[in-house]
Amino acid sequence: MNIKIQSIKFDADKKLLDFIEKKAAKLERFFDNIVDTEVFLKVENSQDLENKVVEFRIKVPGGDLFATRKAKTFEEATDLCIDALKVQVKKHKEKLRGV
């Protein structure tokens, strides 16, 4: 699986990039036909503490799966996205099997 991470209007540190890659790689446990993964990191200009946004796009045979989450930290938002994507990947896998 190919993982591309883009931080928009800031430079993400190596520790954060490694964390995201490690979490994204775990999705292959649930579905091994993941072609490509794109991750977008943004900081919203708001007074809210939850201004870190993480967006995942996973390309799988038959379509793309998306998840977007906001949190206080990028790590927390990544965890929330991965949890949402686990559910989507499982549903997609069942759909392909015709269950």
pLDDT at 56: 97
pLDDT at 99: 61
- Greatest CA separation found in the chain? 46
In the chain, the number of structural domains is 1
Entry pTM? 0.90
Low-confidence residues of the chain, pLDDT below 50? Answer: none
CA distances from 84 to 13, 27, 39, 43, 80 (A): 24, 11, 14, 20, 6
The string over 40-66, giving b where at least 16 C-beta atoms fall within 10 Å of a residue's C-beta and e elsewhere, is ebbeeeeeeeeebbbbbbbbbeeeebe
CA distance 42 to 99: 37
What domain range includes position 81?
2-97
CATH number at residue 92: 3.30.160.100
